[in-house]
Amino acid sequence: MSTNKIIVANWKMKLPYKKAAPLLKKFSSIKFSPTVQVILCPDFITLPLASNILKKSKIKLGAQDAALADRGAYTGEVSPVDLKDLGVAYIILGHSERREYLAESDALINQKLKAVLAVKGLIPILCVGDKVRGKNPKTILFKQLAGALKDIKLAPSQSIIVAYEPVWAIGTGRVVTNSEVTLAHLLIKGFLTKRFKPSQSRVIYGGSVDAKNSANFRDILVVNGLLVGGSSLNSKDFLTICRNVLK
Ligand code: PEP
């Protein structure tokens, strides 16, 4: 059976390291549907532990960021090559919290994307999103996509995931309407299919998804999956979300 939904758990920096092992063990014992690909993204220091605990599970490992180069004098950064060697398969790039608090620009995200794509087997999850509800999402999304994807070519075996994450909906409890999600996804997919084969890109949604509202997303055909922040730290809620998007 082929996987038809991607569900990314972004633990951000919310979980104390001391509490990571029990939660990882809970996740590794969950029997997720084979039609869902779960990607768990803990913080950097939790990755080795996660790699070890999840090695027999179907959950794939993701990182929340990566350096803009594979090696060199980049104090505080983590090489995408080392992430791959640790068992990481996906890298979130351009998350709105990094754009906001660390002033990450589209140009920097573009460099990071290139560094990630240079490592065989790594798949980037590029986050884009408008800040103010209803304020020209097309212009903002296209600017972010054009900047991040500048000069990027995908080899036939490569693919990219783009997460549409309206900033006004992240961690705020404000929920998008189906038509807002559909419009943004169609815009993003349209942009991507001008550059890559349709099968090389998938578009997922993120922003205040929880156990209660997750069922809203299952009928929106253009949504290839979800990126879940806060609610992904509760294994029961996360499982409910994974089930709801399939029903
Ligand atoms: C996120 O971390 O990208 C996110 C969508 O967070 P939340 O689900 O908490 O809004």
pLDDT bin (cut points 50, 70, 90) of residue 4 is confident
Domain of 223? Answer: 5-244
Assign residue 74 the CATH number of its domain.
3.20.20.70
Where do we find the tokens 């189906």? Answer: 178
Measured between alpha carbons, how far is residue 225 from residues 104, 110, 205, 238 in Å? Answer: 25, 23, 6, 13
pLDDT bin (cut points 50, 70, 90) of residue 3 is low
The total number of structural domains in the chain stands at 1
What is the average pLDDT score of the chain? 95
pLDDT bin (cut points 50, 70, 90) of residue 2 is very low
CA distance 59 to 67: 24
Residues 145-176 pLDDT 10s: 999 999 999 999 999 999 999 999 998 989 89
Task: Tell me if residue 95 is catalytic.
Answer: yes
Residues 23-74 pLDDT 10s: 999 999 999 999 999 999 999 999 999 999 999 999 999 999 999 999 999 9
Ligand 1 mean position to 232 CA, how many Å?
Answer: 9
Ligand 1 mean position to 166 CA, how many Å?
Answer: 10
